[in-house]
Structure 1
Amino acid sequence: MSLQKKLGIDIDRLIFGISQISQMTAISPRQLRYWEKRGYISSLSEKDGASRQYNLKMTIRIIGIKQFLDEGYTLATAVQKVADFAKRNELMRHFIMQRFEGTTDLAGEMALDFGELDDGQRIYGVIQDGHAEFKLVENK
């Protein structure tokens, strides 16, 4: 099931103008245009005379670049770190979307159900004493 169906929101319609991005991030529109010129970010298709607009995915990328810049990284390094993070995030999202089957009650605690394993056990994700752990349970 897609994220759009799960959330009930068309995230492709979450669009922010360049001035909104500038206000949210304290990055000047001039700087955003420079990043775009360098190919670090991209706006939605421009119409003549219209201001630049960014979708949610690009907005998150911009925020990530800004965060790494604030930590003292160069622009090129910040962009690379955001790209690396995006790759890891995509791998995790893909894995979870395939394995996650919902939540369930496991011994009185809420658990994430990651489905059945080849040996007939089910794997659950739980929080024990503030730490994420996996539990294997025999299917009944």
Structure 2
Amino acid sequence: MSLKSKLGIDVDKLIFGISQISQMTAISPRQLRYWEKRGYISSLPEKDGVSRQYNLKTTIRIIGIKQFLDEGYTLAAAVEKVALFAKRNALLRHFVAQRFEGTTEVDGEMVLDFGDLNEQQRIYGLMQDGHAEFKIADK
């Protein structure tokens, strides 16, 4: 289910200009153009009289690169780390989207329902003393 259908927000319409990105991240427009030239980020197709614009996905990528740069990584390493994070995030999102069936209460606790493990059991996710754990319960 998309954010648009869940929240009524069309994330494709969340667009930021290069000046806004620069203000939000303290990265100069010149640096952003350099990253774009190197292929690390991409702006939306340019329109006459409009400065570079970036969608939400690219904005998040820029923020990630900046965070890793601030931690002392080189630009190339920061870009790699952001790409790896994005792959992991996509895998997690797809996995959870396929398995998550909602929340329910089991033994008086609110749990995440990940559906049937087999014909006799269901698998749940819960927080136990601040730690994420799985619980397998008979149907």
Q: TM-score range by the shorter chain?
A: over 0.9
Q: Which residue of 1 aligns with 2:95?
A: 95
Q: Which residue of 2 aligns with 1:124?
A: 124
Deviation digits for residues 41-79 of structure 1 (CA, Å, limit 9, x no counterpart)? 001111122111111111110000000000111101100
Q: Which residue of 1 aligns with 2:2?
A: 2
**Structure 1: stretches of 5+ with no match in the other structure:** none
Q: Which residue of 2 aligns with 1:67?
A: 67
Alignment of 1:32-111 (within 5 A): 32-111=32-111
Alignment of 1:8-27 (within 5 A): 8-27=8-27
Deviation digits for residues 102-131 of structure 1 (CA, Å, limit 9, x no counterpart)? 111222221111111124311111000000
Farther off after superposition, 44-53 or 62-71? 44-53
Q: Give the secondary-structure state (helix, strand or coil) at the position aligned to 1:41.
A: coil
**Structure 2: stretches of 5+ with no match in the other structure:** none
Q: Give the secondary-structure state (helix, strand or coil) at the position aligned to 1:113.
A: strand
TM-score by length of 1: 0.94
Count how many residue pairs are aligned between Structure 1 and Structure 2.
139
How far apart are 1:2 and its partner, in Å? Answer: 2.7
Farther off after superposition, 81-90 or 110-119? 110-119
Farther off after superposition, 111-120 or 129-138? 111-120
| Aligned alpha-carbon RMSD (Å) | 1.1
**Dislocated runs of 4+, deviation >6 Å:** none
TM-score by length of 2: 0.95
Distance 1:49 1:81 in 2: 34
Q: Give the secondary-structure state (helix, strand or coil) at the position aligned to 1:58.
A: helix
How far apart are 1:16 and its partner, in Å? Answer: 1.1
How far apart are 1:34 and its partner, in Å? Answer: 0.7
Instruction: Give, as a single letter, the amino acid of the residue that structure 2 aligns with 1:44.
Output: L
How far apart are 1:28 and its partner, in Å? Answer: 0.7
| Cα distance change of structure 1 residues 10 and 120 upon mapping to structure 2, 3 Å threshold | farther
How far apart are 1:101 and its partner, in Å? Answer: 0.8
The percentage of aligned residue pairs carrying the same residue is 80
